[in-house]
Copies of this chain bind each other. A is one copy, B any other.
Amino acid sequence: MKTEELQYPGSKRVYAPGQIFPDLRVGMREIELEDTVFPDGSSEPNAPVRVYDCSGPWGDPAFSGSVQEGLPRLREAWIQARADVQQAESGGYLHAADPLSPPTQRAYALSGRITPEMEYVAIRENMGREAAFKAVYDRFPSAKSRPEEAQLLLDELGTGMPRPSELEADAQFSHRSLHPRRDLNYAHPADYAARTGTHMPAFFTPEFVRDEIAAGRALIPANINHPEAEPMIIGRRFLCKINANIGNSAISSGIEEEVEKLRWAIHWGADTVMDLSTGADIHRTREWILRNSPVPIGTVPMYQALEKCHGRVEDLTWPLFRDTLLEQARQGVDYVTLHAGLLERFVPHTAQRATGIVSRGGSILAKWMMLHRQENFLYTHWEEICTILATYDVAVSIGDGLRPGSIADANDFAQLAELEVQGDLTRSAWAHGVQVMNEGPGHVPLHLIPENMRKQLEWCHEAPFYTLGPLPTDIAPGYDHITGAIGGAIIAQRGCAMLCYVTRKEHLGLPDKEDVREAVVTYKLAAHAADLAKGHPAAQLRDNALAKARFEFRWEDQFNLSLDPHKARAYHDLTLPHANAKKAHFCSMCGPNFCAMKLSEEIRDTFH
């Protein structure tokens, strides 16, 4: 797969500088738009749209690196500059110089220190609105001194669609004039967001980021040994993120294929990638993935530990697991799933379930506890685990080994009992300076989804929630990317910070390239729908730009602003393949004499 194959049409990669750290180069994708052409032949330019970009250097046509070399070590200088890490004698990896002062983003945030990582994610979340904000303040200097009204104005920038000309015509600073529909009795995203506890700032600042991390409401997974990764933040007051799983298994896949899958997944928008490899070569596969990944990499270390016992659960021991965890932490894994909340006494409660234990990690531990009649060693060694994680700034994703595998098992005793323990573990990991998130279900009917979010926020002290789906029905194998996107949109709207994708092969087989693409785009769609509802201040800009392009029959812009421009264009071409149809003032659904949008253009002309 050549870098050129992974480019979006009409787009370029741009870099925004930092203010606190002027050397920062925050990568984004900028989509160029055509001019609006009016019936009288005059035209007006449309400002380009900047969108969040997960592809890293691989998405930059100017980047000439290769998979063999690995990516540039973006964060290395920042990490070294902090001088709280040192090189291991035995090898090249870094670790904390002083165990009492761990080099974690959480520790920095708690001590009031803003890191380059924090400014990076603030700029990233603003998605290029720096210029727009500057323009508003230039035009309305008074807005700066009236923060409440400024906030409303800035909200409007994100959620309404003021045009430059409207701003110009507006002699007085008034948010109402920008948006005539504000008089109506409809729920504004900001009101909604405030009610649901996901209130968004109008603009992300490094200080806001620091505060969210210090409070434990957000994390930046960023192992000091994975300097290739571009900082990204997971928390409910930011864009909802999505994770894609890759990984070879005993049945198929090779190393090169896994790196290709990584690049493919991040091209479509995966914010993090979990390497769930189980076969041979786990260490080497992961090395290739880490050195080529601009996104955080997560793992489930239990899988490798079990490989080391040749799949014999009874042979698992704490020392063997600890060594595996250390190996992965040193290598640069950014977050690890640990099913430490699955206690021995919960296991019998799964015996009456419709689908027992469906988590791989969970069932391994359950079997181990059953064989040895001992408590979960991840739980009993939690303090030691946290010390290891803090040494490298590995974040922990506390697993839900007892997540429901069917509608019948949703929100049952076993599931909720583990969630309570996840909450206890969260607090003690925080005490070690470790960044934390919690994993959640699974198969849950729509009406039980809010309870999951509510209890997680309450019991886990607002640590970010990271769910698999949830899937609100069991009857759609072959379509479970959609099932999961429905549940995902709903839980993300209520504050879930990251959604783990489910592909259409879920429950059936291993995903191929097309399955990964379809799943990533589907979850991106669900996460974006939630961001709109949460009132993320930059989210609606892209919808508005696409709606305007659609209304004005700028077909190329409509494709280019889409989550999947290639597919949008291909579908259009199936009905109207000729190049001049891309300029046509009608669409394929209605034909040339019968188009709703063409008619309403005429109405607009009459009333203007």
Contact = CB atoms under 8 A, between A and B. Distances in A.
Interface string A408-419: 111111001000
Contact of A591 (B251, B406, B548, B603): B251
A585 interface: no
Interface string A276-314: 001000000000000000000000000000100001010
A189 interface: yes
A547 B355 contact: yes
Contact of A575 (B252, B351, B493): B252
A464 interface: no
B186 A451 contact: yes
Nearest to A250: B591
A378 interface: no
A550 B408 CA distance: 13
Interface stretch (A62-70, A75-83, A211-219, A594-602): A594-602
Contacts of A180: 352
A590 B540 CA distance: 40
Contact of A596 (B362, B593, B601): B362
A358 interface: yes
A576 interface: yes
Interface in A384-423: 405-413, 416
B543 A408 contact: yes
Given A251-B576, A477-B546, 11 more contacts: A161-B408, A180-B352, A183-B413, A357-B599, A358-B597, A364-B599, A408-B543, A446-B532, A476-B564, A486-B525, A508-B568
A574 interface: yes
Contacts of A186: 410-412, 448, 451
Interface in A571-607: 571-572, 574-576, 587-594, 596-597, 599-604, 606-607
Interface residues of A, number: 127
Interface stretch (A38-46, A142-150, A167-175, A555-563): A555-563
A574 B514 CA distance: 13
Interface string A137-171: 00000000000000000000000110000000000
A483 interface: yes
A478 interface: yes
B607 A348 contact: yes
A233 interface: no
Interface stretch (A127-135, A221-229, A467-475): A467-475
Contacts of A606: 370
Nearest to A606: B370
Nearest to A355: B551
Number of copies of chain A assembled together = 2
Contacts of A533: 445-447, 472
B405 A551 contact: yes
Given A252-B575, A445-B189, A474-B546, A600 B363 contact: yes
Interface centre among A160, A180, A448, A508 (most CB of B within 10 A): A508
A530 interface: yes
A603 B386 CA distance: 29
A529 B589 CA distance: 30
A525 to B, nearest CB: 4
A381 interface: no
Contacts of A490: 446, 490
B562 A478 contact: yes
Given A278-B594, A607-B351, A192 B447 contact: yes
Considering residues A347, A525, A547, which has the most beta carbons from chain B within 10 angstroms of its beta carbon? A547
A476 B596 contact: no
B576 A509 contact: yes
A507 B595 CA distance: 12
A445 B529 contact: yes
Interface string A233-273: 00000000000000001111000000000000000000000
